[in-house]
Structure 1
Amino acid sequence: MLGPAVLLAVALLATFGALAYGGGAAPFPIQDPGPIARWGLPVAKLLVNLGAAGMIGALVLAVWALAPAKKEFDLALDIAAASAAVMTVASAATGVLTFLVVTGETLDLGEAFGQKLGLFVTSIELGQAWLTTTLVAAAVTVLSFAVRNHTALVFVAALAVFSLVPMAQQGHAAGAAGHNAAVADLGLHLVFAAAWLGGLLTIVLLRRQLEADRLPVVLARYSTVALISFIVVAISGYASAALRIGTWDQLATQYGVLVLAKVAALIALGLFGALQRRFLINRIARGEASASRDFWFLVVIELAFMGLASGVAAALARTATPVTEEVGSVARTPAQILTGVPLPPWPEWYRYFTEWNVDLIWLLLCGFGIFFYLAGVWRLRRRGDHWPVYRTVLWVAGLLLLAYITNGGVNVYEEYLFSAHMGAHMALTMGVPVLLVPGAPVTLAARAIHPRKDGSRGGREWILLAVHSRFASIIANPIVAAVLFVGSLWVFYYSPLFRWTMTDHIGHEWMIAHFLITGYLFVQSLIGIDPVPYRLPYPFRLVLLLGTMAFHAFFGLAIMSGTGLLLSDWYGAMGWGTDALADQQLGGGIAWSVGEIPTVALAITVAVQWARSDEKESRRRDRHADRTGDAELEEYNARLAAIAKHDAHG
């Protein structure tokens, strides 16, 4: 238990030291809540972060690295439950302390105080966020004890990750510039830092359950998680700090110095991880006597640096940033009131290639998607297996297009112009899937990823389980995929979902994922290479394609001919000085006309696959005839001759 004790002690010391240096716990000039609230709130948030780390890290290891048949699996879930319980209590305490800091109230047990606190957690957004976090953490506590099914634990882990969403949303003022980017950056930072720290902490607590030959296997799997987490934490941390610091000279401020201390701890952790990955795991696997001792010594040092980074992070949340988050005074124009940022430059055609609005979630997703795909192709070629070049080219092109749509000029203007939004929609539902589906990622994963033999589930096992699940068999059915593809158009644009995706960044992320998945399923049902439960015959695929796109074109025509403005208080109030209804009708024209280009490509592809299928069948019959000496044909001719002879005799 030395490691967890070192982690907690260093984290607390770092929190107090950083608060004292940065002034995060200094008395308020007006309505000071007292030293208990000022010093207690960062400490409570630190415990929330550590509890979330233990909860998420243990669940990630259980889902990814541990075998359900071994004691390590159940113990990891017990660790997750205990960590979630700590997070529950700490979140509740954080909610109360936040109330004291915001209102300047003093803690008492009177009825009036309870009414004010109840109003805060049920009616005020900040209070609701901490109430939600507390309730979700409590639910994860119960589920971690109750659920032992390997597949169901994926949903428990997803719920655990969701518990960090309210914290990410409150990490930057909702109306301040860069709010959406700050939410995405902080959310990524919290989730992957938790998986990194919590995974290592879980391995330390599982030490007695991991046998000598088992330890290097689990460490190697955790090392992959740690490496990915390090990359995401480093990039998201830089992006988040850039929003709050502004310019390089602000690094000399108290906030900047604390950021530099956190960066130094992160660099040290990266070096420790590289040392562990390149040397110690192999030494442990070879059974060297000193390897285990050296590893656990390094782990204690690593946990100390993680505690340092966690403590500084908790103090940074209470330290004044060089870039202030002014909400009311900054929002002067209608666009700033609605989006938090001024109008971008007028959308000349070249602006779509020079303006950028980075969404780190999709940028990292595309980057990892390209890297792991190329790594799989390289592994196949290294062992002498063939993988068509065109599949690689199309996959990379599809992810580059996705990265541009979610980060480039289209992402800049789709918030202000319906036509740009519809262009992004068409690209996500038809352009990107037409490139990604021929890449056959599931087939590549099944061939390139090594199968597990200890009962645990890695990438190959989880992918194949998802593809062959009952749910996948339903949504991958060609008819269902077509209904989802077309039906979601009408449901999305003529329901409150459209407004949600414009006003809430989580809704925006959901919109991208939804459009991409429905488009992928539809294209997969037509020209997919990856295995699916059922495929239509080629003639019916063409009929399905033409029928679906007819409904798609009808949707575009409905938008073009419509006289009512969708989201009039959004697109009609941006202050461009243009006709919003005309722009909406232009968006309908994009849905009607641009959607036809992928349709033609899909029809040609289906026709080519149909022709090749007939050629393969002909070649198969020829090979069969060569093997049997045209036995079937001779038998058929003999039967005809017998019939003719019988008729002549009659």
Structure 2
Amino acid sequence: MIHEASLLTLAGTFVLVMLILSLWFAYVLAVRWQRKRRKVWHCWRLASFTLGSALLVIAFSPPVVEWGHIDLRGHMAQHLLLGMFAPIALMLGAPGTLLLRSVPVTTARRIMTVAASMPVRCLSHPVTALVLNVGALYLLYLTPLYQMSFHEPGIHLWLHLHFVLAGYLFCWSIAGPDPAPHRPGMRLRLVVLFIAIAAHTVLGKLMFAYGFPRDAGHDLAEIEGAAQLMFYGGDIAEMLLALVFFSAWYRQRKQPVVVDEWQTADRRA
């Protein structure tokens, strides 16, 4: 039964890797299309998106997946790659902006209309993103969900996918360069970022001090090592996100009038 679950997990992981590579390839094609039309698209954005994709592929590689199955420290390293470092790099690639520039004007308008709808605005709000991102970690490590995920391949794969999507949503809601209708102000986003930093710190200390996740077959040294990875690795990732945030704030203060992609689409028409 365990062997069958491992095979299903590997198969699902392979599908996710193929999806990542397909999205990266689509991004590269879109960049080439922009350059053929003599539109500017900075190389560093392509490099950033490529780095994020590479980090995801590394996190889903067989050695890292196996390490994550047998060692909580490996699981935590995988989580840091999937949910924190890769999303920052992907977000800096501005895939949403590239999409809007690559599709017809009418399609870009429809995308922006959907983005401005109330359900999407609620989902992409920094507070919602914080709950989905950090709240899921508390649920995973402080409840039996962690143990369940190693016996149910579907739950295991869904958690990995959730790490990536929730991590990207949080990074984008705080400091994303893509257009975002009705995005909250900088001060609210800064407060949410500080809360996220504090919540990660508290969770790392709870794991270190009280041996979470409990009854999962990990010894104390392993749990403490994983808690330290979360504590220090999370700090590094959140410092990077804060740096991106303050850079965006500085640029906004220097250029208070920002032309969004919708206005750009109007001019293209």
What's the TM-score, normalizing by structure 2? 0.86
Structure having greater relative contact order (Cα 8 Å, sep ≥ 6): 2
Q: Which has the larger radius of gyration?
A: 1
2:267 paired residue number: none
Distance 1:564 1:527, change over 3 A: closer
Rounded to whole Å, the distance in 2 between the matches of 1:619 and 1:536 is 15
Determine if contact 2:8/2:153 at 8 Å carries over to the other structure. Answer: no
Q: Does 1:539 align with 2:187?
A: yes
Rounded to whole Å, the distance in 1 between the matches of 2:178 and 2:127 is 18
Query: What letter matches 1:589 in structure 2?
Result: Q
Q: Does 1:483 align with 2:127?
A: no
Q: Does 1:549 align with 2:203?
A: no
* Structure 1, unpaired ranges of 5+: 1-173, 188-358, 454-459, 573-579, 621-650
1:447 paired residue number: 101
Give the drift of 1:461.
8.6
Rounded to whole Å, the distance in 2 between the matches of 1:448 and 1:477 is 26
Q: Does 1:613 align with 2:252?
A: yes
Determine if contact 2:211/2:223 at 8 Å carries over to the other structure. Answer: no
Give the drift of 1:392.
0.8
What's the TM-score, normalizing by structure 1? 0.37
Give the drift of 1:179.
5.1
Query: What letter matches 1:607 in structure 2?
Result: F
Rounded to whole Å, the distance in 1 between the matches of 2:9 and 2:188 is 45
Determine if contact 1:527/1:606 at 8 Å carries over to the other structure. Answer: yes
Rounded to whole Å, the distance in 2 between the matches of 1:511 and 1:619 is 37
Query: What letter matches 2:193 in structure 1?
Result: L
Q: Does 1:431 align with 2:81?
A: no
1:601 paired residue number: 240
1:471 paired residue number: 119
Give the drift of 1:562.
1.1
Determine if contact 1:395/1:435 at 8 Å carries over to the other structure. Answer: yes
Rounded to whole Å, the distance in 2 between the matches of 1:606 and 1:483 is 19
Deviations 1:514-543 (A, max 9, x none): 111111111111110222243233233322
The correspondence for 1:405, drawn from 44, 59, 62, is 59
2:49 paired residue number: 395
Query: What letter matches 1:399 in structure 2?
Result: S
Determine if contact 2:141/2:213 at 8 Å carries over to the other structure. Answer: no
Determine if contact 1:476/1:521 at 8 Å carries over to the other structure. Answer: yes
Determine if contact 2:207/2:213 at 8 Å carries over to the other structure. Answer: no
Give the drift of 1:426.
1.8
Q: Does 1:509 align with 2:157?
A: yes
The 3-state SS of whatever aligns with 1:595 is helix
Give the drift of 1:618.
9.1
2:176 paired residue number: 528
Rounded to whole Å, the distance in 1 between the matches of 2:191 and 2:111 is 30
Number of residues of Structure 1 aligned to a counterpart in Structure 2: 259
Distance 1:616 1:465, change over 3 A: closer
Distance 1:175 1:592, change over 3 A: closer
Instruction: Give me the CA root mean square deviation.
Output: 2.7
Within-5 A mapping of 1:77-92: none
Query: What letter matches 2:205 in structure 1?
Result: L
Rounded to whole Å, the distance in 1 between the matches of 2:258 and 2:212 is 58
The 3-state SS of whatever aligns with 2:41 is coil
Distance 1:543 1:183, change over 3 A: closer
Structure ranking higher in helix proportion? 2
Give the drift of 1:410.
2.0
Query: What letter matches 1:413 in structure 2?
Result: W
The correspondence for 1:415, drawn from 69, 85, 90, is 69
Q: Does 1:383 align with 2:22?
A: no
Give the drift of 1:496.
3.5
Give the drift of 1:462.
8.4
2:146 paired residue number: 498
The correspondence for 2:22, drawn from 365, 368, 390, is 368
1:589 paired residue number: 228
Rounded to whole Å, the distance in 1 between the matches of 2:178 and 2:5 is 39
Give the drift of 1:593.
0.9
Deviations 1:524-568 (A, max 9, x none): 111102222432332333222122211110100110111465243
Give the drift of 1:439.
1.1
Give the drift of 1:402.
0.2
Give the drift of 1:494.
2.3
Rounded to whole Å, the distance in 1 between the matches of 2:257 and 2:97 is 26
Give the drift of 1:472.
2.0
Determine if contact 1:565/1:581 at 8 Å carries over to the other structure. Answer: no
